[in-house]
Amino acid sequence: MTSYVLKPLRGYTPFDGPVVLVIMDGVGLGKRDESDGVFLAYTPVLDGLMTEPLYATLKAHGAAVGLPSDDDMGNSEVGHNALGAGRVFDQGAKLVNAAIASKRLFEGEAWKAVAARALSGGAVHFIGLLSDGNVHSHIDQLLALLDRCGKEGFPRVRVHMLTDGRDVDERSALRYIAPLEEKLRALSVEGRDYRIASGGGRMWVTMDRYEADWSIVERGWRAHVLGKGRPFASAAEAVQTFYDEDPGVNDQHLGEFVIVENGRPVGTIEDGDTVVCFNFRGDRAIELSRAFEEAEFPYFDRERTPDVFYAGLMQYDGDKMIPRHFLVEPPEIKGTISEYLCAAGVTSFAVSETQKYGHVTYFWNGNKSGYVDEHLELFVNIPSDVVTFDQRPWMKAAEITDATIDAIRTGGRKFIRLNYPNGDMVGHTGNPAAVRIAVEAVDLGLARLLPAVRDRKGVLVVTADHGNADLLFTDKNGKREPHVAHTLNPVPFIVKDFSGANAFHMPGVAQPRLSNVAATLLALLGYDKPEEFDPSLVQL
């Protein structure tokens, strides 16, 4: 068993109060103009905190969080991995790209099992998000997998595509359907039959997370597996029809559809087939995986469960082994701050609402579910509203704040972390008024937390995992278009020390990033960083 030992920080004076970390999900630092929803919001508390002497800005995208290039926006998964791990690991997209380029992916046991079924007559079904957002998936990876299917002579391949509109432009689905259909046509030679079979918008079909709304997965199951959905002759026709019928709908919320020929679905999933989820990110792929793999399944009536070989592009939950088969090994993250703190006997508390609960637990703990030590940790999941988030942009900020204040006042928890999802989840809706309210709800939460931390003589730390609410729109060719994706902007990092016990200062770490936060928290708690962690942003 690995031993995680922390050394006391020389010259540190202990104090009774807690260290409280606030993660303002999706609250970055934008241009401070009319396009910046954070700037436009009324945020007197955050504005005041950003004048504190212990203030820095952190890089939260690209190579700084393990993504392939600095053109890649950050996201909550990799952001919380970096926050909790204290250093940067190569992440999903980068790992998959390397495995495809080296052909290691096609040499593994999972791909060999896919090939065996395909060459025995079973269809191969690819299900996933069709875009180049590089947060959950990338179209180039799907196209590479399809090329390999053609090279190996798989006779029948079907793609079940989910439209994005969240990590890319809100009405960009046709831009991705065109090259996919071209690829499928090019591969449909020499007796091969490759087609799009079904689809729908990611927030309406298939891609639920944290069991917030299983009906999303049910709609996907009915379309992908059973062939039940609105019929169309092509995916492009389906998307254009949805656009024409509702000028306000974006790709996130398109209805489920099924491609039919002669009145019959072209790609239902049957016994003997193979199903591959081509998303590399785990949170919105876990429930689909469970629907295919779990014998006892109470969440909806599957009607039938075909005997298939199911594989993820990656394994989405290492602790629960979801799914059992996967094409690319995920990053192995050991020695998280939670493992070190538990080994040192430090008590902790984590809270968010359902939409981000897994980020302050699963992703924070290195893609592992459950407690490191249930005797020292307590996790609280506040159920999210099942509505589009621009309808209730305050979300559960008040309830998250209530739970945190209770943990602060009750005592017994030395390290407290919470995630306010508002800036990210509402930012994805592209609704400017709702985004401002969302950011203001977070500021109101900070206003309530400050006196609670002050009264307990603790330390408040405020940061974010990536930007989103900080960019409401972009101008393209003179036309203003809503921006619903994450941004490449830095995020704030603030330490407000009410303890009076230690004189911390910021020496100025070169190119500070999210992975510097773990060592900083350890310093505030009285420990030197482990050798493998990136440097602390504060020193005595």
The rounded distance, in Å, linking the Cα atoms of 354 and 347 is 22
Write the single-letter amino acid at 482: P
CA-wise closest residue to 490 among 460, 516, 475, 470: 470
C-alpha closest to that of 197 among 222, 172, 175: 222
Which residues make beta-bridge pairs with 24? Answer: 420
- Quick one: tokens of 343? 């080994």
Distance set, CA 119 to CA 114, 127, 259 (Å): 9, 20, 24
Half-sphere exposure of 421 (CA within 13 A, CB side): 28
Residues designated catalytic: 76
CA distances from 158 to 125, 128, 151, 505 (A): 5, 12, 16, 58
Q: DSSP of 157-214, one letter per residue?
A: EEEEEEE-SSSS-TT-HHHHHHHHHHHHHHH--TT-EEEEEEEEETTTTT---TTS-H
Return the H-helix or E-strand segment holding 348.
strand 348-353
Cis peptide before 231 (omega within 30 of 0): no
